[in-house]
Amino acid sequence: MKFFLDTANVAAIKTINELGVVDGVTTNPTIISREGRDFETVIKEICEIVDGPISAEVTGLIADEMVEEARSIAKWHKNVVVKIPMTTEGLKATNILSKEGIKTNVTLIFTVSQGLMAMKAGATYISPFIGRLEDIGADPYQLISDLREIIDLYDFQAEIIAASIRTTAHVEAVAKLGAHIATIPDSLFAKMTQHPLTTNGLKTFMEDWASFKK
């Protein structure tokens, strides 16, 4: 399973990338806007830090706008993946871009049919949202399971990016269900390394070692 870092904070990306567990990065207009910096500059900086897929989202709503924007974004770096919204216009754009060899991440997926349509249109990645589905009382894990079953059954080449990850339990659950990727906020990475028994165990070891050295 691959871990993508879900942030555009360059300092956080540098720090977490040193752990050796980051396979890529995802961003979106909301995340980029929080940085208050030029979109292209931020994406290019991220590409220099992480050698893996870097998702950068279009802001157009019409297929022609998305395609024009995507062609420009794709030129920024060989690792850039263009993020496209799951709409009819987004599917049109994905179809065109896939035929041009431009990698796409179709985002805001909440149903099996949406995921299937995105894969049929040629999406490189599909991003079902875990936390947001839980917010409305839906079962995000069944969605992940169903999408993985369809990919395996029909040999689709698309990979599942489990998005809207908020807890370590989310990461563990989607991993067991076969999601290819989890995109994880920078704040969650530290929590994934921690457990009270680990902290207490290390404290005990160090105390015992200090006593022994005396």
Please give the positions annotated as active site. 83
Please check whether residue 48 is in contact with residue 65, taking contact to mean a CB–CB distance below 8 angstroms.
no
Nearest to 10 by CA among 43, 40, 54, 53: 43
Measured between alpha carbons, how far is 139 from 136 in angstroms, rounded to an integer?
9
Count of beta carbons in the 10 Å neighbourhood of residue 36: 7
Residue 147: both structure tokens together: 């999408």
Residues whose CB falls within 8 Å of the CB of residue 55, separated by 6 or more in sequence, listed in order? 4, 24, 25, 26, 27, 28, 80, 81, 82, 83, 105, 125
Query: Looking at 28-166, which runs of residues are DSSP E strands?
Result: 54-57, 80-85, 104-109, 125-128, 159-162
Please check whether residue 25 is in contact with residue 55, taking contact to mean a CB–CB distance below 8 angstroms.
yes
Measured between alpha carbons, how far is 209 from 191 in angstroms, rounded to an integer?
27
